[in-house]
Chains A and B, each alone.
Chain A
């Protein structure tokens, strides 16, 4: 990856984080930790990898994304707004009674391919989309992003078995392995590790990456597209709340909100990061 392209993706990831945080702040609620850990994946997907057109959000041969960890609507809506699917101003209505931007990701929002929220179900939906594309000879890729806590749900493994069995190689999924779920660390609540070996056992092409490194994420997606006989699982090793020091590696900001002082500090950190990446 060219240095300038990497810088632009990093800048986008920081901008996505700031936009998501402002969206949550205006609403007064929303999930920071899981949104921030997957922000770099979203930047790479929507600003490099995915074939989507904000002017034609329903075009049939587009690439698709199922945000299976549907509580991470702030990062999803921020990314889609920055991509141009709807005005940034609209984010101010997040979680309001008369808005389509509900607390969990909604199919009715332009650019969203499927609703999410009931955990463990999105990988199956993405698998269905990918199987549809293959059956109809559509050359596209379908993505899904799951939380690492989410893969404690049994349905994930039904989908894993099926995708491997049908060799659905246009399915490129991610586990946002930020190591913390609502009640605490996975290692204390319920540990799904080793994640990579499990998906390999279900006949997946598995790639481990630093999920906060846009270049590694982009390279993994390129590598996934070369695999012709297996679905790909990109295990993204991430930090919950990544990108703001006080949000990092804690369950407190899974759904909890920062104090006004913490919010100001977070915005400052993100502004500094954005300034350092702007030329």
Chain B
């Protein structure tokens, strides 16, 4: 059964587990004990390079390796991976279509006490807008492990988002759960509303579904670990069958999962949508749980938004 560990630890372990491939090269920017690339570094030191605090250089070294046939994985905090080196990722990874995986750890509010400068709340938005980029944000240990394996088998640019705090392991216990890049996974069926979440909001969304069930509201729950390419089919099906949707993400409500879902609904099947996330503001220091509470990233708020969405039908 699963383990209640952070997605960054699950990531690091999975990278080491599946890293026995001579084309895999791993780069970090003085954060290997934070991003957890250290597990790979310990196991395969000959294929690990510490580039120091120089993220731009790291991304392009990874790009250089990839032009020679390598699968490059570059590691830093999400705030730097998506923001500081946006130009390098756009022009030197995605435009040439190189096989570089950009791994951003410590994403979202739950960096906690380090505060707003380190809380990436725009990273999925920035990465999602680059042509050819795949964006993955797993929710727990099991999903992270499967997503790492899938990412390593996929050839092309990927942005992989992990978090700092330990999170409850949920997907391993759900019958029929599977991970595939570009596919959402229905964790629970429901008929009144659909809750779509990614990252650590998946667990909170499952709790929201429990709260709604206690009030007699049947909520479908979809784990959308791939933000891009978004699973249009599962969204449209949910919209048609449940008639109302709520998204939940540890990210600005602009540009991330909520936006991706709203784009699909706008194109194909307009139903009421409520987006739960950080309301276009910066985070600040605090205990991770207090921050999630403060910004409304709670089961209670997801449930409240579900009721609003249903009322708008």
Contact = CB atoms under 8 A, between A and B. Distances in A.
Given A135-B46, A159-B57, A118 B64 contact: no
Interface residues of B, number: 28
B25 A121 contact: no
Interface string A116-130: 011001101111111
A162 interface: yes
B2 interface: no
B57 A158 contact: yes
A135 B61 contact: no
A85 B62 CA distance: 26
Contacts of B70: 132
Interface in A209-253: none
Interface in B36-93: 46-47, 49, 51-52, 54, 56-57, 59-70, 72, 87-88, 91-92
Contact of A127 (B52, B64, B91, B95): B64
B102 to A, nearest CB: 14
A115 B62 contact: no
B47 A118 contact: no
A158 B54 contact: yes
B91 A115 contact: yes
B67 A124 contact: no
Contact of A162 (B51, B65, B66, B72): B51
B96 interface: yes
Contact of B67 (A113, A117, A121, A165): A113
A125 B64 contact: yes
B91 A135 contact: no
Contact of B68 (A121, A124, A129): A129
B67 A129 contact: yes
The interface residues of chain A, by DSSP majority, are classed as helix
Interface residues of A, number: 31
A136 B24 CA distance: 12
B61 A128 contact: yes
A166 B47 CA distance: 14
B56 A60 contact: no
A60 B52 CA distance: 28
Nearest to B90: A118
A13 interface: no
A128 B54 contact: no
Interface in B148-173: none
A162 B57 contact: yes
- The winner among B46, B47, B51, B60 for most chain A CB atoms within 10 A is B60
Interface string A159-180: 1011001100000000000000
Contacts of A126: 64
A45 interface: no
Contacts of A108: 96
Contacts of A21: none
A132 B96 contact: no
Contacts of B91: 115, 117-118, 121
Nearest to B27: A128
Given A117-B91, A118-B87, A162 B61 contact: yes
Interface centre among A113, A115, A126, A130 (most CB of B within 10 A): A115
B64 A121 contact: no
Nearest to B23: A136
A201 interface: no
* Most central of A107, A113, A132 by chain B CB within 10 Å: A132
Given A115-B95, A129-B68, A121 B60 contact: yes
A128 B65 contact: yes
A121 B70 CA distance: 19
Nearest to B60: A124
B74 to A, nearest CB: 10
Nearest to A128: B64
A101 to B, nearest CB: 16
Contacts of A127: 57, 60-61, 64
A125 B92 contact: yes
Contacts of B59: 124
Contact of A161 (B54, B56, B61, B64): B54
A154 B85 CA distance: 12
Q: Which 6 A-B pairs have the closest CB atoms?
A: A128-B64, A124-B60, A128-B61, A158-B57, A158-B54, A125-B64
Interface of A: 60, 66, 107-108, 113-115, 117-118, 121-122, 124-133, 135-136, 154-155, 158-159, 161-162, 165-166
19 contacts: A60-B69, A66-B64, A107-B96, A121-B56, A121-B87, A121-B88, A124-B59, A124-B63, A124-B64, A125-B64, A127-B61, A128-B61, A131-B64, A132-B65, A155-B60, A155-B88, A159-B60, A165-B52, A166-B49
